[in-house]
């Protein structure tokens, strides 16, 4: 059992390490050479185009203004200073709402902390039940927790009342926050400039027609059924293989660039490479020649494939982006059922052009149900049985395992250093690698499920990751053993015993979770701001392959906020806070510090670093809200279990009311606010349409939408358009608009993977 | 334990009693005097207007054509002969689909029966495990059931395979049936003649406006947001009190009529009545004078109230029926969100005019969430704790209870007959009364929840009743004791033990359920056709109060099929069939006979008797489908429990697949077919609009819709319409159309309650 001293020591260590990170960050970020790593957003927005300081050769790389180092925390007030409206304008609504999750944590847990420390801790301290038990070891932390209250004590009324107070406070904060964010979203959508997705609907599962091509069939259907509103449409080509080729070519091109730079640096000596795996084995060849040949060959193949896709009618998928003359028309089409067969002519709002995940548009609609079923089963097994393959790998990675598989290595393995390395480090590393890969695995699973926008993919991955964390980190830490053993032992218990078993273990694990918050939370956030990996990668790329300004742009691309993996982690802190608020209130200050620190850091990051790939208009908020409610229900049920084990089961009926209220609150919020995140009201559409007709009556919408929803690999091609569109083909407006899309979307993020 | 002989005896008795019912029916239905009881539908449809036989005084009441008695089962082929399309035309889609539920039962269980009897019964018979246990009593029925197979036997593979076969067969039949019914619904909707609800949308929660009346606000909103499609609207008045007055007046009028007839029969002697409760106590007065006065007073009051409602702006509810120029426009408005606040301007398809439940339109929208929460809690308590008040009443109804409350009765209660009556009969009667009242209680609960159409109310009541039957009849019979005790004992068990506990008890209860099927199912259906209660009521009314043909029409009104109480009962047989199909296959023939017999009887009833109040276009089918799937999941889980208790737990993983598949099948059907029951596709709307424009270009739709959605109490008034409508006011077409509605809708069903 950890004592208060242990915890203080751990806190000191973690605060110190966070402090070191911050100092390092303060030093590194002021170096002009790192400017593009720590402030890439300003470059992307075109506000900054070279490190601010100018001067001699040295000051170009190192900041010699030593006064600036003294103000090493100056970024904090800067990060907080920017008003929210400006922030939305600068970083987009998604980011602005994302950091509001941390703010929400503060709003919930600061009052919790004050109340709990002032009221519950004295109650718990006075309990003295632990001191009477002489033979049980207990820590000072436990004295401040509910464990210290004797069974059947009247003091439990305090906990009961606090559980109610906390629940109602959370309801209040959540309701207000949902309201504010729904309002922000509507204002954001209303204030936005014209965007192609406002006029466009994604139509899936267009039925085949024997007499007409898909192009004609689409046009006829919408001309008949939306006669006053239909404008134009864009069919989707199955260009998955083509875009693979393009990506492959890009990679090869990168290697070619690398060798060209190498050649120009030490001229005379032509670089060579090996043709085998990663350039490590195989025949040695002249690198420049080898890669030039490869690029030429791929270019040829790409051109052929491009030809094939455009001319082959089978490459046209039964999917299309249909655009309307007005937002009203699009809103109507997106929200209604078109055909009497509800699996044909499925309409939904088109995602933003940069948000489209093109490969999934080629999945036949009928396969989706089966894919989702399989993925649901896979998720279940991944969550509960993920330890089995890892245990297998671990057994292989043991001394005996390696000796059995590769016996000739055994002399080496007898060396003591290597032996202890294998024994101490290898088994852990398998788990670590799995956990690092997990978000990618979950994202792949979401992709297999066939969602067609990046934002949906991220939200679905986040849901999967949350389940995994809930089962394996939360329940897994409380009940020791692998998830599968837990499942087995839980299922064999009585239904009403499960909350008791878990509930009893909860106060005992408080110190563990406090340490977890400090290590994972505090230090994790401090590491986030330092951006070690992007820092190294940027400098590597900058040295070896950057030739033009555009290359540098690519090299410094910070990518988006990783919603899919970071949001579930925040949710875990919400869960901890809610579960422990009544049980071990001393955990709350740690949570509050986490939320506060993370809020400042991420506000800095979204202002200066991340460059969102798409803008969903905070469409993820219903998920965030729902998961906090899940956490509430879990905490309420576990408290009920704990109370029962404390023989305070009179409280059960009163506590039973709380989850029911929570579910009801969920339904209330769902009906009240969720439509704002899913649908688009006709009234607002009409207002914007009318306004636009008045201000810009001559605007050529058809030309504007002409190439908005074209697959990125075709962006510079002249794809043959349906006959009805031809008259607009040569409009100069298209080119201008298109090039601006080209920058925003496309494979910037996935473009370059060094050395893979 | 019942033996095969006991069962055969019970079957013989039940078959005999059913036979008696049929004979009685055959005799009674041929009497001209009963023609209006057994064939009211033909009178309502105007095809028949007096009993077919004509002749002397005697033959007017009694059928003397003795040959016709010989063909006493002749109604059966007649009932089956009518082809389905004609049936839909004659009785409506709701009724035609309702009897398909029975047909579905046959489609599922006849192959089940054949397979089970041919394959499973020999397997079970060969088990012989029961014969080895000398000290356990067992019946012949058990020998045919799974109980007879020894634990760990390889024979369980047969049951496992059959469970799969049965599940897949059920999936197949359900899928096909859903498809057929979705198609029937779409064809029905498409083939229907013009109906007001096709053009009309119900708008709820119209926000108040400081400058405009609700009438103006509505008109402006829809003129702005649906400019090309909005036609007109009809506000809703809060006429709940007024319609109560109208109903009260009608009852008093009935009494007046009764006494007038009495007076005219034995002229000279003026009838008298007492003013107190039910005319049993109070001052004796002249009946004619008394009731005439009352009618006059009520008429006055009604006129005043009518005046008030029409002129008081507060009587206008924030609800309106908004009509559109085209079906397309209405379909768009019904399926889209209007305002950015998703709780304002809520639109949904308007129910058919006769389907509207007017009192609930006056419920403020904000109260609905709270009402539904309260009703959900109430349903929970009703389902699990309904025995507590009944036990209390029973304790009062015991000898000691009565003596304590009314001590002066004790001498009478010493009489032996009365004593035994009280002891043997009274306690049971409390439960019986409760069960008879239950559908009414559940319907009241649904009404409190605030649904605005009769069809929805019936569907919601059916859902509640199904839950009650499931918990109290099914689980309650299997685990003896009240539901509350069961809940308590179940919750204290291990989660995975619940299916085992229930599963083990299932084969033991087979004989009980066989008897239940015969008593409740077979005899219940036979009693249904005899219509004892309507028969008596009709003759009473006919004798005492019928003066005009319209009175007779009211007296013979058979009402609608009681979907809310009969559908859950059918579902109970599906549940029994599915649960026992693998466990005790000998139960299946009894189920099959029930479904077959009920199919014929109800087909006869919907052809000849029931007169549906509204037509929802089989909107209840998704509920029926879903409940059968619930039953499947229950049966699969219980089989899993039973197998585990038989030590055949190797089968658990294989059996676990079945519920997962069932859930997946549910999702599949839901996405595939359910939209057909909820939404209306734009394509179909457009086709009908175009067709109608071509065939009937001059049709005055505004006039047609003018009074379609007016509260029934205002049907003959001239309510002041919004200014925009005035030009149509005097169109003669309105009157004609209106009067036809008047017959179909209105308070025909609730109109007259004799003697209450």
Mutation target to probe the B interface, by most B beta carbons within 10 A, among A191, A342, A344 is: A342
Q: Which tens digit of pLDDT belongs to each residue from A473-527?
A: 888 777 765 555 656 666 666 556 677 777 777 887 888 888 888 888 888 888 8
Angstrom distance (rounded) from CA A295 to CA A644: 70
CB contact under 8 A, A343 and B369: no
| Nearest Cα to Cα of residue B32 among B2, B1, B74, B61 | B61
Output the pLDDT for position B742: 38
Segment B198-212 shows an average pLDDT of 86
Neighbour-count burial for A37-60, b at 16+ CB within 10 Å, e otherwise: bbbbbbbbeeeeeebebeeeeeee
Q: CB A225: neighbour CB atoms within 10 A?
A: 22
Phi, psi angle pair for B741, to nearest 5° = -65, -40
Q: Which tens digit of pLDDT belongs to each residue from B542-592?
A: 777 676 667 777 777 777 888 888 899 999 999 999 999 988 888 899 999
Q: Which tens digit of pLDDT belongs to each residue from B223-275?
A: 888 888 898 888 888 888 888 888 888 888 877 877 877 777 776 677 777 77
Segment B153-176 shows an average pLDDT of 90
Structure confidence at residue A722 as a pLDDT band (50, 70, 90): very low
Which of A221, A340, A377 is nearest residue B684 as measured by Cβ atoms? A340
Output the pLDDT for position B280: 65
Domain coordinates in residue numbering, chain B: 4-193+472-678, 199-351+711-756, 365-449
| CB of B294 closer than 8 Å to CB of B250 | no
Structure confidence at residue B594 as a pLDDT band (50, 70, 90): very high
Output the pLDDT for position A741: 39
| CB of A677 closer than 8 Å to CB of A619 | yes
The structure tokens 């969102």 sit at: A612
Number of residue pairs across A and B with CB atoms under 8 Å? 121
Name residues 459-498 of chain A within 8 A of B (Cβ).
Answer: 490-498
B280 vs A31 pLDDT, higher one: A31
**What single string gives the DSSP state of each residue in B616-648?**
-SSTTHHHHHHHHHHHHHHHHHHHHHHHHHTT-
Mutation target to probe the A interface, by most A beta carbons within 10 A, among B340, B663, B664 is: B340
The overall average pLDDT reported for chain B is: 79
Name residues 388-447 of chain B within 8 A of A (Cβ).
Answer: none
SS3 B324: strand
Output the pLDDT for position A306: 84
Q: Does A664 touch chain B (CB under 8 A)?
A: yes
Contacts of B651 (CB under 8 A, 6+ apart): B156, B160, B640, B643
Output the pLDDT for position B58: 53
CB contact under 8 A, A228 and B228: yes
Q: Supply angle C-alpha B671, B676, B681, rounded to 5.
A: 110
Contacts of B448 (CB under 8 A, 6+ apart): B371, B374, B375
Residues of A in contact with B331 (CB under 8 A): 336
Output the pLDDT for position A734: 34
Q: Which tens digit of pLDDT belongs to each residue from A81-105?
A: 888 888 888 888 899 999 999 999 9
Neighbour-count burial for B310-323, b at 16+ CB within 10 Å, e otherwise: beeeebbbbbbbbb
Q: Does A679 touch chain B (CB under 8 A)?
A: yes
| CB of A421 closer than 8 Å to CB of A445 | no
Count of H-run helices and E-run strands, chain B: 38, 6
ipTM entry: 0.76
B672 has pLDDT over 60: yes
Sheet of B200-204, strand order: B230-237, B316-324, B200-204, B346-349
B718 has pLDDT over 60: no
Q: Does B682 touch chain A (CB under 8 A)?
A: yes
Determine which of B15-19, B125-129, B661-665 has the lowest per-residue pLDDT on average: B125-129
Q: Which tens digit of pLDDT belongs to each residue from B511-541?
A: 888 888 888 888 888 888 888 888 888 888 7
- Going from the C-alpha of A96 to that of each of A82, A101, A306, A461, B597, the distances in angstroms are 11, 9, 40, 21, 66
Q: Which tens digit of pLDDT belongs to each residue from A136-145?
A: 455 666 777 7
Q: Which tens digit of pLDDT belongs to each residue from A687-708?
A: 888 888 888 888 888 888 877 8
Q: Does B683 touch chain A (CB under 8 A)?
A: yes
Q: Which tens digit of pLDDT belongs to each residue from A59-69?
A: 555 666 666 66
| Nearest Cα to Cα of residue B98 among B604, B672, B460, B624 | B624
Contacts of B380 (CB under 8 A, 6+ apart): none
Residues of A in contact with B676 (CB under 8 A): 340, 342
Q: Which tens digit of pLDDT belongs to each residue from A194-237?
A: 888 888 999 988 888 888 888 888 888 998 888 888 988 888 88
The backbone region for B278, taken as left when phi is positive above 0, alpha when psi lies in -120 to 50, beta otherwise, is left
A577 has pLDDT over 90: yes
Q: Does A652 touch chain B (CB under 8 A)?
A: no
B5 has pLDDT over 80: no
Q: Does B684 touch chain A (CB under 8 A)?
A: yes
Output the pLDDT for position A295: 86
Strand ranges in B294-354 using DSSP code E only, listed in sequence order:
316-324, 346-349
CB contact under 8 A, A343 and B671: yes
CB contact under 8 A, B671 and A342: yes
A109 has pLDDT over 50: yes
Which of A228, A496, A682 is nearest residue B491 as measured by Cβ atoms? A496
Residues of A in contact with B668 (CB under 8 A): 369
Output the pLDDT for position B63: 64
Output the pLDDT for position A750: 37
Angstrom distance (rounded) from CA A680 to CA A201: 12
Angstrom distance (rounded) from CA A109 to CA A579: 12
Which of B335, B340, B497 is nearest residue A186 as measured by Cβ atoms? B340
Entry pTM:
0.79
The overall average pLDDT reported for chain A is: 79
A338 has pLDDT over 80: yes
Q: Are strands A230-237 and A272-274 parallel, antiparallel or unpaired?
A: unpaired
Distance from CA of B219 to the nearest CA of A (A): 14
Distance from CA of A446 to the nearest CA of B (A): 18
Q: Which tens digit of pLDDT belongs to each residue from A647-675?
A: 766 677 788 889 989 998 998 898 888 88
CB contact under 8 A, B492 and A496: yes
Q: What is the percentage of chain B residues whose pLDDT exceeds 70?
A: 81
Name residues 203-262 of chain A within 8 A of B (Cβ).
Answer: 221, 224-226, 228
- Going from the C-alpha of A615 to that of each of A136, A647, A715, the distances in angstroms are 56, 52, 21
């Amino acid at each position: 059992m950890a004592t208060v001293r242990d915890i203080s020591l751990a806190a000191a260590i973690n605060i110190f390490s966070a402090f070191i990170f911050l100092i390092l960050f303060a030093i590194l970020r002021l170096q002009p050479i790192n400017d593009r790593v720590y402030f890439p957003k300003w470059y992307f927005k075109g506000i900054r185009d070279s490190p601010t300081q100018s001067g001699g050769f040295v000051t170009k790389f190192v900041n010699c203004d030593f006064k600036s180092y003294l103000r090493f925390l100056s970024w904090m007030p800067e990060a907080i200073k920017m008003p929210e409206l400006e922030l939305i304008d600068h970083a987009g609504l998604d980011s602005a709402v994302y950091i509001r999750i941390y703010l929400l944590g503060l709003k919930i847990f600061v009052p919790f902390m004050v109340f709990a420390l002032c009221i519950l801790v004295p109650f718990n301290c006075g309990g003295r039940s632990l001191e009477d038990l002489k033979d049980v070891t207990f820590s000072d932390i436990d004295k401040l927790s509910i464990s210290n209250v004797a069974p059947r004590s009247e003091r439990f009324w305090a906990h009961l009342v606090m559980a109610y107070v906390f629940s109602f406070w959370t309801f209040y904060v959540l309701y207000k926050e949902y309201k504010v964010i729904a309002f922000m979203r509507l204002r954001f959508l209303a204030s936005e400039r014209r965007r192609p997705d406002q006029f466009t609907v994604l139509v899936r599962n267009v039925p085949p027609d024997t007499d007409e091509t898909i192009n004609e069939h689409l046009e006829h259907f919408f001309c008949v059924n939306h006669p006053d509103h239909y404008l134009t449409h864009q069919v989707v080509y199955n260009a998955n293989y083509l875009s693979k080729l393009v990506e492959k070519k890009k990679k090869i091109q990168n290697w070619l660039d690398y060798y060209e730079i190498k050649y120009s640096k030490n001229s005379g000596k032509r670089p060579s490479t090996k043709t085998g795996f990663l350039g490590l084995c195989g025949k040695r060849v002249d690198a420049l020649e080898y890669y030039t040949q490869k690029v030429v060959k791929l270019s040829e193949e790409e051109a052929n494939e491009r030809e094939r896709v455009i001319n082959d009618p089978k490459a046209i998928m039964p999917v299309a982006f249909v655009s309307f003359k007005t937002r009203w028309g699009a809103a109507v089409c997106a929200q209604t059922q078109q055909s009497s067969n509800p699996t044909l002519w499925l309409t939904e709002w088109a995602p933003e052009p940069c948000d489209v995940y093109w490969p999934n548009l080629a999945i036949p609609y009928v396969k989706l149900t089966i894919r989702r079923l399989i993925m649901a089963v896979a998720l279940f097994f991944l969550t509960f049985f993920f330890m089995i393959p890892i245990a297998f790998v671990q057994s292989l990675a043991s001394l005996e395992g390696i000796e059995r598989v590769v016996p000739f290595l055994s002399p080496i393995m007898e060396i003591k250093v290597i032996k202890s390395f294998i024994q101490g480090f290898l088994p852990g590393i398998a788990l670590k690698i799995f956990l690092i890969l997990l978000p990618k695995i979950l994202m792949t699973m979401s992709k297999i499920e066939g969602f067609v926008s990046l934002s949906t993919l991220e939200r679905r991955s986040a849901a999967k990751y949350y389940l995994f964390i809930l089962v394996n980190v939360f329940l897994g830490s409380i009940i020791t053993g692998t998830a599968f053993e837990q499942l087995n032992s839980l299922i064999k218990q009585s239904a009403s015993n499960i909350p008791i078993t878990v509930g009893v273990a909860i106060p005992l694990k408080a110190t563990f979770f406090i340490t977890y918050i400090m290590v994972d939370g505090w230090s994790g956030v401090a590491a986030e701001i330092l951006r070690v990996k992007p820092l190294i990668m940027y400098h590597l790329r900058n040295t070896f392959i950057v030739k033009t300004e555009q290359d540098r742009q690519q090299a410094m691309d910070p990518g988006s906020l990783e919603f899919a993996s970071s949001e579930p982690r925040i949710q875990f802190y919400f869960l901890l806070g809610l579960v422990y608020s009544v049980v071990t209130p001393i955990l709350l200050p740690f949570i509050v510090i986490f939320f506060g620190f993370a809020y400042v850091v991420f506000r800095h990051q979204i202002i200066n670093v991340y460059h969102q790939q798409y803008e969903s208009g905070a469409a993820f908020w219903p998920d965030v809200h729902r998961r906090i409610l899940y956490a509430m229900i879990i905490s309420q049920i576990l408290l009920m279990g704990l109370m029962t084990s404390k023989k305070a089961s009179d409280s059960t009926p009163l506590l039973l009311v709380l989850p029911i209220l929570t579910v009801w609150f969920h339904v209330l919020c769902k009906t009240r606010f969720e439509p704002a995140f899913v649908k688009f009201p006709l009234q607002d559409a009409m207002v914007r349409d009318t306004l636009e007709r008045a201000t810009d009556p001559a605007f050529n919408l058809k030309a504007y939408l002409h190439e908005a929803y074209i697959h990125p690999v075709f962006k510079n091609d002249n794809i043959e358009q349906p006959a009805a569109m031809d008259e607009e083909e040569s409009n100069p407006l298209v080119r201008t608009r298109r090039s601006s899309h080209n920058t925003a979307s496309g494979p910037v993020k996935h473009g370059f993977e060094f050395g893979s």
